[in-house]
Structures are given as structure tokens and as C-alpha cells.
Amino acid sequence: MTLDDSQLQGRTREFLAAHPPASTPRADFLAARFDAGLAWVHYPEGLGGLGLPRAQQAVVDAELEAAGAPDNDPRRIGIGLGMAAPTVLAYGTEEQKRRWLRPLWLGEEVWCQLFSEPGAGSDLAALGTRAVRDGDTWVVNGQKVWTSNAHNARWAILIARTDPDQPKHRGITYFVCDMTDPGVEVRPLRQITGEAEFNEVFLSDVRIPDAHRLGEVGEGWRVAQTTLMNERVAIGGMRLPREGGMIGPVVTAWRERPELRTHDLHQELLKLWVETEVARLTGERLRQQLVAGHPGPEGSGMKLGFARLNQRVSGLELELLGEDGLLYEDWTMTRPDIVDFTGRDAGYRYLRAKGNSIEGGTSEVLLNIVAERVLGLPSEPRTDKDVAWKDLSR
């Protein structure tokens, strides 16, 4: 299908006329939107899209926003939208796409990501979770860590080692794991914020049908790269208005509380405001590049910058507020569905921003990716590249 912006705008208005947001139940509206191909227009017809360029989604979103249409609560289902869905689309069978994409986008089924492991550190390819084939199923045993939203998830994207005789980047296979399996145990990880949005997940004889495998056996690392590149774009390249995100509360405090101002803080605020705006505009350019293809290593640079800026801006906010910045009223053990940086106090933002340089790929690993794949610098020596995983020291 080919539609120009005007035709797509007309199609969206026809949809809104047939499904008025004010009188259509939210669940019915979202289901109808998906079936009309207006969920993500760059996806194929029948899977929530129209096979159009990604950039044209903005046309649909503008019309829906103007009409006061409900969204699918993207922050609650961000892992599904930003990581699982692109991977299912790229590597899933037609049956898998039709089974998982619709309830994922509607928010009926929450997803999480079972990648990181306590024994692998930042070297994801050294993972030790094992999947052993038993007829038409795989039996999985191992442990995953730092799993956001595992306590709410229905499904998980999972990578496990299926051939320990292969080097660490080979012999890995990619699965979709049913989080309701009796062998899945989710334990909260309490953070410095007092909350437990992260979890550790123990997998004990979890049985995964071979029909829930994405990609070929042993090709899990290649499949995982699709997930990881989309994850870093989702984290570092999110669309924000000017003065959106972490810089917003700092600028507001500066404008509303002149007694806090000093010359040195003013200079630092100006510097960070400019860097934040550069990052925002760079993110816009990156999203424009994505229209022409898949996300590349540039997303790692965006995510790296996002983490550094968040930590510097939150530190400046505490310095600006003085003793008021030390207040943190919500240090309680909760299991939040979303991370809310701007709706909380400065103390929370400062503490939570520390995790930005770990989640979605550590800053140290991302520096290597930018150096090698963006700048073209020589790679670090890797003596374990061709050694069988089972022979590596651990």
C-alpha cells in the first residue's frame, strides 16, 4: 500500500469518525486502531500497520492526539514495544507474529528481557543459562538478573546457551519464555531508591516449546543484536520536547527560586541546557535515519550520552537546591510498573540516574561499540573469541 501524508491523514480522520474517542471504550478503541493499521504504520498489514515508511507514524499520532485519543500506555509496555516487537517482526514466523504482536501493542501482555546474568558481568556473550533440547521442547536452567518488570510480565525474550562446545558468541539460541511456567521464580532486587523495579529470575527446568524459538538454533547472538540496538535507541533516543526530561525540573527551579542562583551554577546550567538540547536534536536526526533502515551502532552513542547527561543534570539539581535536594520522601519498598523521573523529587532523580550507566548496556561496553563500529578504531584483543565456551575460565 502507498499513501501520501494527506491520504493517511484522511484515513485517520475516517477512523476517528467511526470510533469517537470520547464514547468508545479504551480497549475497543485501541483494538480497532491496531486492526485499522494505525498502531505502527511501518509494520505489515494485518500486524497493526500499513507497510508505510516509519516517518508517517507522526501523521497518525498528530491526528489522534488532537482528537484526545487514548494511547497504549507505552511506558508500561516499553520493553515489549521497543525490544520484543522489532525482534519478533524480524525473526518470527507468521504464526508467532500474529500470536504476540497484537496483545503486546494493546498492552494486554507485558514483556520483559531475560538477557543479563550475574556470572557474565557486562560480557553478555559469556552467559551460562543452558537450554537442552528434549523432543519438541527445550529445558532451560539458569539465572538472570536486572530484569525490569519481570514481576508483571507474561512473556520474556530469553537467550540461552544451546551448544557449549561452540565459542561464546555462537551456540546461543533466542527464545520466548512463558513467565507463568512453574519453573520461573521472580525475586525483587531492592535498589538504592528503596524500590524494586528490577528483579532476579531463576529458571528451573523451564520447558519452552521449540515453536517459541526466534531464529535458527545457534543464531541467538545475531537475533539478540536486533533487540539490543533497538533497546539503546528506545532508551537514549526517546522523543522529548525542549526542556523535557531531567533538565526540566532544574530549569523550573532556577526560574521560580531566584534565591538559589549563583554565577557558577548559572554557567553550569547553561552548559548542560545546551548539551541536553544537542542530544535532543541528535535523537531527532537518528530517528530520521531509522526511517531508511534498522537501528545501527549510533544508538549506543545516544544511550551513552543519555546516561552521562542524566547523572550530571541530577547532580546539578541537588547542588542548586542545597539541603532541600537531600529530601527524599518516597524511600519505600514498592514494585513500580514504570520509572517516573520527572514526577518525583530531586533525591529520587539523583539516586535513580545512577542506574542509567548500567541498564541497556554499560557505558564501558557502549564506549567500545562507538569506538569500533562508529569511529572505526581497532578492536580490543579478544583471546577468547575462538575458544569453546565450556573451556573458558569462569
Strands 198-209 and 184-189: antiparallel
- Residue identified by cell 533538565 is 247
HSE (side-chain half, CA atoms, 13 Å) at 193 = 24
Burial class (CB in 10 A: 0-12, 13-18, 19+), 264: exposed
Burial class (CB in 10 A: 0-12, 13-18, 19+), 292: exposed
In three-state form (DSSP H/G/I as H, E/B as E, the rest C), the secondary structure along the chain is CCCCHHHHHHHHHHHHHHCCCCCCCHHHHHHHHHHCCCCCCCCCECCCECCCCHHHHHHHHHHHHHCCCCCCCCCCCHHHHHHHHHHHHHHCCHHHHHHHHHHHHHCCCCEEEECCCCCCCCCHHHCCCEEEEECCEEEEEEEECCCCCCCCCCEEEEEEECCCCCECCCCEEEEEEECCCCCEEEEEECCCCCCCCEEEEEEEEEEEEHHHEECCCCEHHHHHHHHHHHHHHHHHCCCCCCCCCCHHHHHHHHHHCHHHCCHHHHHHHHHHHHHHHHHHHHHHHHHHHHCCCCCCCHHHHHHHHHHHHHHHHHHHHHHHHHHHHHCCCCCCCCCCCCCCCCCCCHHHHHHHHHHHHCCCCCHHHHHHHHHHHHCCCCCCCCCCCCCEHHHCCC
Cell numbers for 375: 569511529
Burial class (CB in 10 A: 0-12, 13-18, 19+), 250: buried
Class of domain 80-95+109-218: mainly beta
Q: How far apart are CA 48 and CA 31, in angstroms?
A: 9
Note whether 383 and 393 are within 8 A (CB).
Answer: no
* pLDDT tens for the 394 residues of the chain, in order: 789 999 999 999 999 999 999 999 999 999 999 999 999 999 999 999 999 988 899 999 999 999 999 999 998 999 999 999 999 999 999 999 999 999 999 999 999 999 999 988 778 899 999 999 999 999 999 999 999 999 999 999 999 999 999 999 999 999 999 999 999 999 999 988 888 988 999 999 999 999 999 999 999 999 999 898 776 666 655 667 888 888 999 999 999 999 999 999 999 999 999 999 998 888 777 766 665 555 566 677 788 888 899 999 999 999 999 988 887 776 677 887 777 776 788 988 999 899 888 877 788 887 887 888 788 889 878 777 788 988 887 7
Q: How far apart are CA 236 and CA 309, in angstroms?
A: 11
Superfamily of domain 224-374: Butyryl-CoA Dehydrogenase, subunit A, domain 3 (1.20.140.10)
Residue type, 98: R
Positions marked catalytic = 231
Measured CA to CA in angstroms, residue 253 lies from 43, 263, 269, 321, 328 at distances of 42, 15, 11, 8, 17
Residue-level length of the chain: 394
Q: How far apart are CA 340 and CA 3, in angstroms?
A: 37
Q: How far apart are CA 275 and CA 366, in angstroms?
A: 19
Tens digits of residue pLDDT in 86-141: 999 999 999 999 999 999 999 999 999 999 999 887 788 999 999 999 999 999 99
Measured CA to CA in angstroms, residue 248 lies from 253, 273, 276, 339 at distances of 9, 9, 10, 16
HSE (side-chain half, CA atoms, 13 Å) at 339 = 21
Q: How far apart are CA 24 and CA 176, in angstroms?
A: 33
Domain residue spans of the chain: 11-66, 80-95+109-218, 224-374
Tens digits of residue pLDDT in 259-286: 999 999 999 999 999 999 998 888 777 7
